[in-house]
Structure 1
Amino acid sequence: MSFDRRTREEQTPGAGRAHDRRNRVAVIAVSAAVVAGLLGFGSYTLLKGPEADAAGEVSTAASRAGDAKQAEPEEAAAAGAVEGERSWDPEKLGRDHVTTPVTYPMRPPVGGDHDPAWLNCDGVVYEKAVPDVHAVHALEHGAVWVTYDDRATDADVRALASKVAGTPYTLMSPYDGQDGAIVLSAWGKQVAVDGADDPRVARFLARYVQGPQTPEPGAPCTGGVDG
């Protein structure tokens, strides 16, 4: 018996060619997969760009909306009447400058004839009562006058004084004979509250400091008299 030392591939016609075809097919398949992956990544990148931009725009819009929302309380405070406030017809309130005593129909007064000199009202806190005729002139310039009597607590007085001291076109003083423990007055407008933490305090100040009721907007609150 003779033994053929050739390999089986050599012994089998076409076996080598079949092996080469399988290798080529494998290489082609791998190449196709790589190309497909690159194309897919490229498409994802192209699509992601606009989506990222859109997402950024949405985020920016949301941020602006948040800023606007934060600004809403102050804007809301300046809009509309304050709950419980009293109003007087400004056409019926005198505005003449007089040097004689004036009797006002409300306490504290919210308008009427007044002294030619206004009370300094650039965030001034007066420890003693001030003349009505000077305070009314300050109201004509767009100031808000905060008054209190013995019913107001020391804590409320301190809190109000701090708020007034930091707010231009405001003044504060004690006042006997008013309706509430704490009263805020502007030209033709007035509200009484029980405490400094009443939200109507901030609302009244926001609406009526140099507000739409002001007969002489922009007139000074300095250069007048100090009580």
Structure 2
Amino acid sequence: MGSAKNGSGKTGKNSSGSARQTRIAEMRRAEQARDRRNRLLTIGASAVIVAALVVGGVVLVRSQSDSGASDSANGDSKTSGKFVTDADGVRKWQGKLSRNHVTKDVDYPTEPPVGGDHNQVWMNCNGDVYTKPINNVNAVHSLEHGAVWVTYNAKADKADVDALAAKVKKTPYTLMSPVEGQQDPIMLSAWGHQRTVSGADDPNVDTFLEKFVQGAQTPEPGAACTGGLPQ
């Protein structure tokens, strides 16, 4: 009788241990399955995020391309703001001056302009003196390179025009041309800055050149003033 009892107890223990091992195995399988599902969900979510970023990037690039094409077609300078005159008499543009390359003329808010969208080709500005009007969209690109643009209209004295031309020819990163639509006889323009001078002997001429030729206002310092567009 005692032998049978011992056998029955061992069998019960073995059976209980086997059931426990089975449950443990099932729990491990369930945990492994849950981990696999979580990994798949994580991978899937990551893939969705990456795909969304890729699609978003493509849409953004296309949107920017479309915007650029629209700018080129419409000649929209996207420039806004106004001049604020400093104590030294220099007018500084307070606002936005866009810098997109466009293929058509731009309707600038000032004459001559001091910045904004422009043609991808600059006017040569290595002391170049133009005796005929030049395109604003090319001259603005020269300003972007750090040039100072000396302009005059029919009211300017010929002696002043000749003296300024001589000065420009000796000064790299400058150019000069007539602009009949400007308000004052002689004006100096740099990117975002402009002033009127009374003549070639006005000390503000040298002051403006010293400050703004390749000055701190230059969006693209060191960019070329040769190899562009001659008249």
**More contact order relative to length (CA 8 Å, sep ≥ 6):** 1
Number of corresponding residues: 146
1:148/1:181 contact within 8 Å kept: yes
Q: Look up the match of 1:158.
A: 162
**Scaled by the length of structure 2, what TM-score is found?**
0.62
Q: Which amino acid aligns with 1:137?
A: H
Give SS of 1:185's match.
strand
In structure 1, what is the equivalent of residue 182 of structure 2?
A: 178
Q: 1:129 aligns with which of 122, 130, 133?
A: 133
Contact 1:180/1:194, CA 8 A, preserved across alignment:
no
Partners of 1:115 and 1:134 in 2: CA distance? 5
Counterpart of 2:151 (choices 147, 150, 154) is 147
In 2, Cα distance between the equivalents of 1:204 and 1:179? 19
Matched-pair contact (CA < 8 Å) for 1:152–1:194? no
Cα distance in 2 between the residues matched to 1:82 and 1:170 = 24
The answer to whether residue 213 in structure 2 is matched with residue 213 in structure 1 is: no
Among 101, 107, 127, which residue is 1:103 paired with?
107
Q: Which runs of no fewer than 5 residues in structure 2 stay unpaired?
A: 1-85
CA distance in 2, matches of 1:181, 1:200: 15
Cα RMSD for the two superposed structures:
1.1
Greater Rg, structure 1 or structure 2? Answer: 1
Residue 191 (structure 2) aligned to one of 181, 187, 190 = 187
Q: Which runs of 5+ in 1 are unaligned?
A: 1-80
Q: CA deviation at 1:82?
A: 7.4
Note closer, same or farther for the CA distance 1:99–1:82 as it changes in structure 2 (3 Å cut): farther
Which contiguous aligned blocks of 4+ residues in structure 1 show a shift greater than 3 angstroms?
none
Q: Deviations over 1:130-156 (max 9, x none)?
A: 000000000000000000011111110
